Amino acid sequence: MENAVSKSRFKPNALKYFRQIEDTGKELIITDRGKPKLKIVPYNNDPMETLNSLRNTVIEYIDPLKPVLEEDWETLK
């Protein structure tokens, strides 16, 4: 985890981390005992931005209800 901080370190420095997220636009992971628990991301006011990032990403859409075979599952990851 590249941008991760423990809850105990986050709490007294929350405003500093909020400013960092605003300035860099990168998410911050909050951990508890070394395990990720929360993700803080910058607010996105444009709902179409997320949809536009997914545009043209569907490779094949033949039978969406057909079960995925084990060997195909690794390819789809």
Read off the pLDDT of residues 46-73 as tens digits, 9 standing for 90 and up: 878 878 888 888 777 788 788 877 777 7
Quick one: 44 exposed, middle or buried, by C-beta within 10 A (0-12, 13-18, 19+)? exposed
7's enclosing H/E stretch is helix 7-10
Residue 27 has pLDDT above 80, yes or no: yes
pTM for this model (two decimals) = 0.58
Q: Is the pLDDT of residue 16 over 90?
A: yes
Checking if the pLDDT of 1 tops 80, the result is no
Segment 5-12 mean pLDDT: 97
Instruction: Return the domain boundaries, the chain.
Output: 4-76
Q: What is the pLDDT of residue 15?
A: 97
CB-based contact 4:31 (threshold 8 Å): yes
Q: Which residue has the tokens 């990168």?
A: 26
Q: How many residues does the chain have?
A: 77
39 versus 47: the higher-pLDDT residue is 39
